[in-house]
Amino acid sequence: MRKIIHIDMDAFFASVEQRDNPELRGKPVAVGGSKARGVVAAASYEARKYGVHSALASKIAAQRCPHLIFVKSRFDVYSAVSRQIREIFHSYTDLVEPLSLDEAYLDVTENKIGMPSASIIAREIKQRILEETRLTASAGVSYNKFLAKIASDMNKPDGFTLITPDMAEDLVAGLEIEKFHGIGKVTAAKMRSMGILTGGDMKRFSEQELVRHFGKVGRYYYRIARAQDERQVQPHRIRKSIGSERTFDADLTEEPDMLERLQYLSEEVAQDMARLQASAKTVTLKIKYFDFTLNTRSKTYLSEFNSASAIYTIARELLHTPNLPAYPVRLLGISVSSLTYQHDKLQEGYQLTLEL
């Protein structure tokens, strides 16, 4: 049986800002955006009490929390702290799979210190992170990745949760589907319409039924409803694309409304690129019309880009290529691909950025 740890830093970007600026401690803080425009990249726990969270439009965040403090993101600092934390991880195992700057999976089934207890290792890692960075992390420990991720979310901030084999199936059965890692809002809404509210409800469906309703990912849903997940911790996992999309309550028909949504999506994608220290050469615009007809438009450049302004400029051009959407738009999405990562560039000794 494997021993998997999932470490998730607590409100990472906002916590770094509060650590480095004592005046921000104990106050609602949003990283990224401003009261006038943009999207929130991260929110402190004080801000979350008001319903402020990452990917929220800054205007809405300011309305929900009028005394919210907006601070400019410092991804160079977050990256440096992330490297510190990964060094801690690698002192225990080389089987480390970073998901972003602030979270990672570790397989400690066999580890460098010969410790048989994954719980002891997880607590040691949390303590070392606190001592070396003055930041807190939450840890989840279990026998697969799905359960370790669920566990790390259960007692944040500064949490620790162990899910053992004898408790796993009952825990998953009582878990609301919105808390399942990998099930987003749209999928959760579809599941609820089918009477699937919890893991126990999903377990009543056969694998064939879930595949019929959700495609190939239905096989994954079938397994996790039974607390099963055979995915390995992959130290060299490379994402081929980064994207974000939104389905709208009311179909969009006016260009300014579409451009406003593309601005938000561009900033979200750029934030994810910064977290992953990635640059791209290709932008793809996804348009779904009122009748669910799907249209995609792409453009590739010779030079790399990683800024929200570059992504937005390209997406805006694609919106007009060949023409503005002629029918009401139900969904807009932006993704970037042809990715390169900062650690690869540093090894090769170059970095190219296209600003538009």
- Here the contacts of 92-98 (C-beta below 8 Å, separation 24 or greater) are 92/121, 92/124, 92/125, 94/235, 95/233, 95/235, 96/233, 96/235, 97/233, 97/234, 97/235, 97/237
Lowest mean pLDDT among 178-182, 277-281, 339-343: 339-343
pLDDT band at 343 (very low <50, low <70, confident <90, very high): low
In angstroms, the Cα distances linking 325 to 26, 300, 317, 356 are: 46, 21, 12, 23
Q: Is the pLDDT of residue 166 over 90?
A: yes
In angstroms, the Cα distances linking 230 to 2, 4, 23, 249 are: 10, 12, 46, 37
Taking only the tens place, the pLDDT of each residue in 67-110 is 999 998 888 898 899 999 999 999 999 999 988 889 999 999 99
Q: With the CA atoms of 230, 236, 241 and 242 taken in that order, what torsion angle do they form, in degrees rounded to the nearest 10? A: 90
Residue 85 has a pLDDT of 96
Distance CA 104, CA 243 (A): 20
Residues whose CB is less than 8 angstroms from the CB of residue 96 and which lie 6 or more positions away in sequence, other chains included: 86, 89, 90, 104, 105, 106, 233, 235
Closest CA to 176 of 157, 154, 155, 145: 154
Residues annotated as catalytic (active site), given as ranges? 103
Q: Got the DSSP string for 273-302?
A: HHHHTEEEEEEEEEEEETT--EEEEEEEEE
Can you tell me the mean pLDDT for 113-127? 97
Q: Which CATH number fits domain 241-345: 3.50.50.60, 3.40.50.11810, 3.90.550.10, 3.30.1490.100?
A: 3.30.1490.100
Residue 346 has a pLDDT of 42
Strands 278-289 and 160-162: unpaired
Taking only the tens place, the pLDDT of each residue in 175-197 is 999 999 888 888 999 999 999 99
Q: With the CA atoms of 270, 276, 282 and 284 taken in that order, what torsion angle do they form, in degrees rounded to the nearest 10? A: -60
Can you tell me the mean pLDDT for 163-180? 96
Residue 112 has a pLDDT of 96
Can you tell me the mean pLDDT for 108-132? 97
Residue 347 has a pLDDT of 41
Q: Is the pLDDT of residue 119 over 80?
A: yes
Distance CA 350, CA 340 (A): 11
Lowest mean pLDDT among 77-91, 107-121, 206-220, 252-266: 252-266
Residue 108 has a pLDDT of 98
CATH class of 12-74: alpha beta
pLDDT band at 210 (very low <50, low <70, confident <90, very high): very high
102 is an annotated ligand-binding site residue: yes
Compute the mean pLDDT over every residue in the chain, rounded to the nearest whole number: 91
pLDDT band at 50 (very low <50, low <70, confident <90, very high): very high
CATH class of 167-225: mainly alpha
Can you tell me the mean pLDDT for 3-18? 97
pLDDT band at 344 (very low <50, low <70, confident <90, very high): low
Single-letter code of the amino acid located at 173? A
CATH class of 4-10+76-164: alpha beta
Which part of the chain is CATH 1.10.150.20? 167-225
Name the percent of the chain lying above pLDDT 70: 96
Q: Got the DSSP string for 129-187?
A: HHHHHS--EEEEEESSHHHHHHHHTTT-SS-EEE--HHHHHHHHHTSBGGGSTT--HHH
Name the strands in the sheet holding 29-31, side by side, starting at the edge strand that comes first in the sequence: 42-43, 29-31, 69-71
Q: 49 is written with which tokens?
A: 């009490």
pLDDT band at 355 (very low <50, low <70, confident <90, very high): very low
Burial bucket for residue 267 (CB in 10 Å: 0-12, 13-18, 19+): buried
